[in-house]
């Protein structure tokens, strides 16, 4: 290109040409590119399916986290109403963490959405170009001498080849990003499996789970209420023990 | 001239814009060589903007080879640097 000596674009173009130079004989180019075209279309379809799978997985994590946020909020309220500010604080800290994760998941899902849309668009574009190439090839063979046809078909093949290289690059980049997200999703699943988000397991050593403590508090206060009722029935008039103090030895024994 | 923005589309551009594009291209390389990430992204954005504004997207049924190919719009500075020193986006 006269007047176009920009190094960046030149480097990229030179590299793409190198990819395309592998099939130099135009008659071979025809067969080679047709086969390659079909292979690539299959690969793009597979690439799109990969992106969709990753997206669905992230969406599932989103749902779980959303439920977790609601649950932790309820727990915090419950804990506070029981006078357990420490427990409420732990629940709210976990809620903050879950919300942070949710935010980054939202971004990732949005990015996968746009990658999916762009790959679908590129796949359709490539399909159109391939159809065009097949039609054009026949027209050229019918209209030109063998030598001329070779040159013209080769030119058209270069146009398709460049598009193929470009779709390949787009797909590779989309898959690389999807791979990063998948690694992140795996890490989150592992966290979950390790109990970070799990109700029944403790968050870290020595720290009782919020649910269990709350359950203890609730059952403790039910017992207290029962005791209170009994005392009232017996007319002893003795004031009921404070529920938190009553719950203390129980937790220590379990810990 | 026909310009491709990698992973995006091909555009048909007036020859008159070649010099402006060329200058920006060289500036982008200079920014990469100077290790100036902000400047690189700034210049590269200008290039993309110029092509999208001045260029007409090619029809899906056109089988044209590009005269110029720009890197993908989401290229990172690390990738851009690798383009000139290492294997870059497309392995040698």
Query: Which of A1, A7, A8 to probe the B interface (max B CBs under 10 A)?
Result: A8
Tokens (6 digits) for A195: 């109990």
Q: Which of A14-23, A162-171, B41-50 has the weakest average pLDDT?
A: A14-23
Residue A22 contacts by C-beta under 8 Å, 6 or more apart in sequence? none
- B-contacting residues in A 177-206 (Cβ below 8 Å): none
Query: Which of A10, A12, A130, A137 to probe the B interface (max B CBs under 10 A)?
Result: A12
CA–CA dist A212, A207 (Å, integer): 11
Of residues B28, B63, B72, nearest to A132 (C-beta): B63
| Secondary structure class of B4 (helix, strand, coil) | strand
Residue B77 contacts by C-beta under 8 Å, 6 or more apart in sequence? B32, B37, B40, B41
A4-49 pLDDT per residue, tens: 567 788 777 777 777 666 555 544 555 666 777 788 888 889 989 9
Task: Pick the residue from chain B with its C-alpha nearest to A168.
Answer: B7
Q: What angle do CA A61, A65, A67 make, to 5 degrees?
A: 120
CA–CA dist B84, A106 (Å, integer): 35
pLDDT-above-90 percentage for chain A: 14
Tokens (6 digits) for A146: 């063998």
Res. A255: pLDDT tops 70: no
Quickly list DSSP for A107-167.
HHHHHHHHHHHHHHHHHHHHHHHHHHHHHHHHHHHHHS-HHHHHHHHHHHHHHHHHHHHHH
Query: Which of B66, B72, B82 to probe the A interface (max A CBs under 10 A)?
Result: B66
What Cα–Cα distance (Å) separates residue A198 from each residue in A68, A194, A205, A211?
Answer: 9, 8, 14, 10
Taking contacts as CB-CB distances below 8 angstroms, the residues of chain B near A133 are 63
Angle between helices A7-20 and B18-33 (to 10 degrees): 100
Query: Does B75 lie at the interface with A, CB-CB under 8 angstroms?
Result: no
CA–CA dist A217, A126 (Å, integer): 64
A102 to chain B, minimum CA–CA distance in Å?
Answer: 24
Of residues A6, A160, A170, nearest to B26 (C-beta): A6
CA–CA dist A98, A93 (Å, integer): 9
- What ipTM score was computed for the predicted complex, to two decimals? 0.86
A11 to chain B, minimum CA–CA distance in Å?
Answer: 8
pLDDT of residue A246: 44
* Cβ separation A12–B70 shorter than 8 A: yes
Tokens (6 digits) for B70: 């720009």
CA–CA dist B2, B68 (Å, integer): 7
Res. B54: pLDDT tops 90: yes
Most confident range, picked from A21-25, A207-211, A251-255: A207-211
| Secondary structure class of A197 (helix, strand, coil) | coil
Give me the sign of the Cα torsion angle A106, A109, A110, A111.
positive
Q: What angle do CA B34, B71, B54 make, to 5 degrees?
A: 105
């Amino acid at each position: 290109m006269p007047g176009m000596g920009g190094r960046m674009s030149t480097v990229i173009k030179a590299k793409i040409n190198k990819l395309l130079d592998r099939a130099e004989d135009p008659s071979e180019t025809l067969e080679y590119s047709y086969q390659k075209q079909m292979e690539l279309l299959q690969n793009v379809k597979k690439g799109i399916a990969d992106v969709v799978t990753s997206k669905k997985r992230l969406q599932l994590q989103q749902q779980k986290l959303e439920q977790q946020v609601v649950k932790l909020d309820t727990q915090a309220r419950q804990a506070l109403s029981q006078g357990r500010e420490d427990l409420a604080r732990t629940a709210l800290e976990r809620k903050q963490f879950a919300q942070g994760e949710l935010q980054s998941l939202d971004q990732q899902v949005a990015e996968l959405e746009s990658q999916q849309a762009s790959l679908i668009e590129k796949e359709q574009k490539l399909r159109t170009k391939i159809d065009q190439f097949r039609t054009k090839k026949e027209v050229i063979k019918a209209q030109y001498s063998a030598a001329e046809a070779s040159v013209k078909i080769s030119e058209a093949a270069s146009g398709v080849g460049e598009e193929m290289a470009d779709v390949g690059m787009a797909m590779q980049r989309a898959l690389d990003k999807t791979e990063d997200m998948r690694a992140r999703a795996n890490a989150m699943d592992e966290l979950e499996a390790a109990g970070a988000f799990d109700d029944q397991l403790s968050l870290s050593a020595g720290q009782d789970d919020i649910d269990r403590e709350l359950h203890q508090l609730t059952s403790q206060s039910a017992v207290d209420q029962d005791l209170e009722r009994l005392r009232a029935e017996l007319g002893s008039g003795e004031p009921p023990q404070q529920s938190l103090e009553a719950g203390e030895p129980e937790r220590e024994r379990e810990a | 001239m026909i310009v491709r923005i990698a992973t995006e589309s091909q555009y048909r551009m007036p020859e008159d814009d070649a010099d402006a594009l060329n200058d920006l291209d060289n500036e982008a390389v200079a920014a990469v060589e100077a290790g100036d990430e902000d400047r690189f992204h700034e210049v590269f954005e200008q290039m993309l903007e110029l092509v999208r504004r001045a260029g007409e997207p090619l029809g899906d049924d056109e089988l044209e080879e590009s005269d110029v190919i720009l890197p993908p719009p989401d290229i990172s500075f690390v990738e851009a640097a690798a383009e000139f020193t290492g294997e870059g986006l497309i392995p040698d």
